[in-house]
Chain A
Amino acid sequence: MADMAAVMRFLRSTSVRLSLRFAALYSIVTALIFGLTYHFADREITEWVAQQLADDAAGFAALYEHEGPDATLQKLNGYPGFNFEDYRIYLLQDAKGTVLAGNVAGIDWQGGSGYVPLDHVRALHPRDDDVAGYLLHTVQLGPNRLTLGTSTYFLEELREVLERGLAVGFILLLLAGLVAGVIVGRKTERRLAEISGTLKSVALGQLEARVPAAGHEADDLARVATEINRTINQLQHMVESQKQISADIAHDLRTPMQRLRQRLDAIAQSGQLSPQSEDELAGAIEVVDDLIDTFHGLLRIAEIESGRRRERFTDIALAPLLARLEDAYGPVAEENGQTLRLTITDGDATVHGDQQLLTQMIANLMENAMRHSPSGTGIAVTLSREPGGVLVKVADNGPGIPAGEREKVLRRFYRLEKSRTTPGNGLGLSLVKAIADLHGATVTLADNAPGLRIAIRFAA
């Protein structure tokens, strides 16, 4: 059944449809050409035979005029072609129609030149069934009338040969056309698949993807591929420079941040502060630490987006990773009056990825649920397999996110109005998105009715 679907998909593809249409058009034109060839060849041969008859008749007429009736009769009766009455016939009659000489009994014929079917010729002997009729030519020899005829037998043989040849040629041409069409079609199909695969990768954020060069071919597809690659280059360049700017800013501000942190530290350690100043200073250090944390977050996202970590990917079993997270966060949820429940329906699920980043991603989702939900909220984490991949879900029955804002929370620094008072830098879910993208996984936010459900789908 799957094969059938693949065949149908193949037949529906543009290139195959084009090649089939082309083959149909090609066969119509070929049939037309072959038909005309047949027609003209047939007419040419018929005319040639008729001309031969006319020439022969003219020869006998000349003989009659110069050498008289006896010589002509003698010549007629001894003419070699007339020995085979199936092939050539002759009939000499006087003005009353009485037969004077001939190799047939009679012909129903008005005279002149033309064709009669077999039954118009009365034979002296039983005849070959293959004969269909005769081409005739009548000439006046003084008072008598000579009718010469040639059987169309060999004409039909010729026609048959011609028909067979043309039919075989037509089929061969059609087959060759179809095979060529399918080969070209499949090749085109492959190249189109490469192009669409590349675009799919780019859509998933893998901006280093390029359409492979198609050898030394310089056709329209190669031109399209070149254009697409140029566009991706441009896109990659733009995205990189944009990322570079934010990474550069974060990086450049790190040194002054370090100095600020160091100076505040030095004051704190001087031990000459009033208790009130000490509290103020602790508050200031906390603010600086939050800032540093935000820069860490930005740089970390930049590093993840660079894709370098893919080189270190290994197969990670998700069940133990989730169990470790449950072990770490279960007591924290309990402390908050919340419950954290882990359900694993596929204990063997693995993904190709980065252990640390996957841990951080799921930790962020759990913490997100815990921090934005009140006491009494239940948080359910599930690991399951679904057709085509592995699914990790983190669902809570807390306040949720309004439908219009669900996708926006994946953006950097985006925070819901009601969360502005909760500590946080607005980077948690952007980091989740960046890590998911790195793993070729999708992040979807949905209404858990009530609450929020975030699903991470890893392709198998």
Chain B
Amino acid sequence: MRVLVVEDHAETAEYITSSLRAQGHAVDHCANGRDGFLHALDNDYDVMVFDRMLPGLDGLTLIKSVRGAGVETPILFLSAMDGIDDRVEGLEAGSDDYLVKPFSFQELSARLAALTRRPPLKTEETVLQVADLEMNLIRRTVTRGGVPLDLQPREFSLLEYLMRNAGRVLTRTMLLESVWDFHFDPKTNVVETHISRLRNKVDKPFATELIHTVRGAGYSLHG
């Protein structure tokens, strides 16, 4: 995918761009907000990464300007501040996700992947399907290979999120934010426990695993 990174801090920019390139992505880098704005208008990116503090044009203004110019490319907002207000301000300005420095590359990479939207028509889906796993969003039922699975409401939400992002790596933090709306780091194994319970129902009785652990990164659902 094509990624625009607007980050003035040289070392962080290098870390992000080289890691993304190593994954095979095409990356453009701008060191200030003004260049970032022009790049965002002139090119067709799959996803953009904006830093909060930029010379020339700060991150928040950059997001507003880009959105004001009609660009709808997903934006991930980076901040060195653990400001919860910062996060809200970023989302309100028009960014799609938010990441606090310092972050691991796995976290960034997983979030960028989740942001690059697949072709539309997703929104009106009523049935999700991954391999022989099928979820009916209207009836709220799940079957695997035709066998009905009895899921608790929260297990259903967790599986729905995994299925909607099938094939992508979802980090622990992403699961906490999306499934539980927890914007903090729990000190207990909340995610691990719920994933393990879900596996007992979705994977254990069957021959092949669908929920995979990605070491050092998170989880991924795929056939």
Q: Does B208 contact A (CB under 8 A)?
A: no
Interchain CB contact under 8 A, A312 and B197: no
Interchain CB contact under 8 A, B12 and A327: no
CB contacts (< 8 Å) of B82 on chain A: these are: 296, 299-300, 303
Q: Does B43 contact A (CB under 8 A)?
A: no
Known: A269-B22, A328-B180, A332-B193. A312 touches B102 (CB 8 A): no
Which of B9, B11, B188 has its CB near the most chain A CB atoms (within 10 A)?
B188
CB contacts (< 8 Å) of A363 on chain B: these are: 182, 184, 186
Beta-carbon contacts of A266-294 to B below 8 Å, as 1s and 0s?
A: 10110000000000001001000000110
Interchain CB contact under 8 A, A371 and B154: no
Report the nearest A residue to B155, measured CB to CB.
A331
CB contacts (< 8 Å) of B105 on chain A: these are: 262, 265, 269
Known: A308-B85, A332-B190, A332-B193. A255 touches B183 (CB 8 A): no
Which of A254, A292, A331, A428 has its CB near the most chain B CB atoms (within 10 A)?
A331
A367 to B181 alpha-carbon distance, docked (Å): 17
Known: A266-B15, A296-B82, A309-B85. A331 touches B186 (CB 8 A): no
Interchain CB contact under 8 A, B186 and A292: no
Known: A257-B102, A424-B187. A356 touches B193 (CB 8 A): no
Interchain CB contact under 8 A, A296 and B189: no
- Point out the residue from B88, B188, B193 that lies within 8 Å of A367, measured CB to CB: B188
Beta-carbon contacts of A245-274 to B below 8 Å, as 1s and 0s?
A: 000000100110111011001101100000
Tell me which residues from 48 to 100 in chain B have a Cβ below 8 Å from any Cβ of chain A.
80-85, 88, 100
Beta-carbon contacts of A356-369 to B below 8 Å, as 1s and 0s?
A: 11011001000100
Known: A259-B11, A296-B82. A328 touches B101 (CB 8 A): no
Which of A255, A262, A300 has its CB near the most chain B CB atoms (within 10 A)?
A262
Q: How many A-B residue pairs have CB under 8 A?
A: 95
Q: Does A414 contact B (CB under 8 A)?
A: no
Q: Does B104 contact A (CB under 8 A)?
A: yes
Q: Does A153 contact B (CB under 8 A)?
A: no
CB contacts (< 8 Å) of A266 on chain B: these are: 15, 19
Interchain CB contact under 8 A, B188 and A312: no
Interchain CB contact under 8 A, A371 and B185: no
Which of B100, B103, B186 has its CB near the most chain A CB atoms (within 10 A)?
B186
Interchain CB contact under 8 A, A261 and B102: yes
Report the nearest B residue to A368, measured CB to CB.
B187
Q: Does B164 contact A (CB under 8 A)?
A: no
Interchain CB contact under 8 A, B216 and A370: no
Q: Does A408 contact B (CB under 8 A)?
A: no
Known: A261-B102, A329-B188, A329-B190. A255 touches B80 (CB 8 A): yes
Interchain CB contact under 8 A, B180 and A367: no
CB contacts (< 8 Å) of B140 on chain A: these are: none
A41 to B87 alpha-carbon distance, docked (Å): 87
Interface size on A, residues (CB 8 A): 41
Q: Does B117 contact A (CB under 8 A)?
A: no
CB contacts (< 8 Å) of A285 on chain B: these are: 216
Known: A254-B101, A424-B187. A262 touches B83 (CB 8 A): no
CB contacts (< 8 Å) of B80 on chain A: these are: 251, 254-255
CB contacts (< 8 Å) of A327 on chain B: these are: 153-154
Beta-carbon contacts of A314-350 to B below 8 Å, as 1s and 0s?
A: 0000000000100111011001000000000000000
Q: Does B25 contact A (CB under 8 A)?
A: no
Majority SS of interface residues in chain A? Answer: helix
Which of B153, B185, B187 has its CB near the most chain A CB atoms (within 10 A)?
B187
Q: Does A423 contact B (CB under 8 A)?
A: yes
CB contacts (< 8 Å) of B83 on chain A: these are: 303
Interchain CB contact under 8 A, A254 and B182: no
Tell me which residues from 407 to 433 in chain A have a Cβ below 8 Å from any Cβ of chain B.
423-424, 428
CB contacts (< 8 Å) of A265 on chain B: these are: 15, 19, 104-105
Interchain CB contact under 8 A, A258 and B101: yes
Beta-carbon contacts of B2-46 to A below 8 Å, as 1s and 0s?
A: 000000010110010001001000000000000000000000000
Q: Does B194 contact A (CB under 8 A)?
A: yes
A327 to B188 alpha-carbon distance, docked (Å): 14
Report the nearest A residue to B18, measured CB to CB.
A266
Give B22 Cβ to nearest chain A Cβ, in Å.
7
Report the nearest B residue to A262, measured CB to CB.
B15
Interchain CB contact under 8 A, A296 and B11: no
CB contacts (< 8 Å) of A300 on chain B: these are: 82, 84, 184
Known contacts A257-B102, A262-B102, then 6 further A-B pairs from the complex at CB < 8 Å, ordered by chain A residue: A262-B105, A265-B19, A285-B216, A292-B102, A296-B185, A360-B182
A residues adjacent to B (C-beta < 8 A): 251, 254-255, 257-259, 261-262, 265-266, 268-269, 282, 285, 292-293, 296, 299-300, 303, 308-309, 312, 324, 327-329, 331-332, 335, 356-357, 359-360, 363, 367, 370-371, 423-424, 428
11 CB < 8 A contacts A-B? A258-B103, A261-B104, A262-B105, A299-B82, A303-B84, A303-B85, A331-B194, A331-B197, A356-B84, A360-B183, A363-B186
B residues adjacent to A (C-beta < 8 A): 9, 11-12, 15, 19, 22, 80-85, 88, 100-105, 153-154, 180-190, 193-194, 197, 216
Leading 9 A-B pairs by shortest Cβ distance: A258-B102, A299-B82, A262-B15, A360-B184, A332-B193, A261-B102, A331-B193, A356-B183, A367-B188
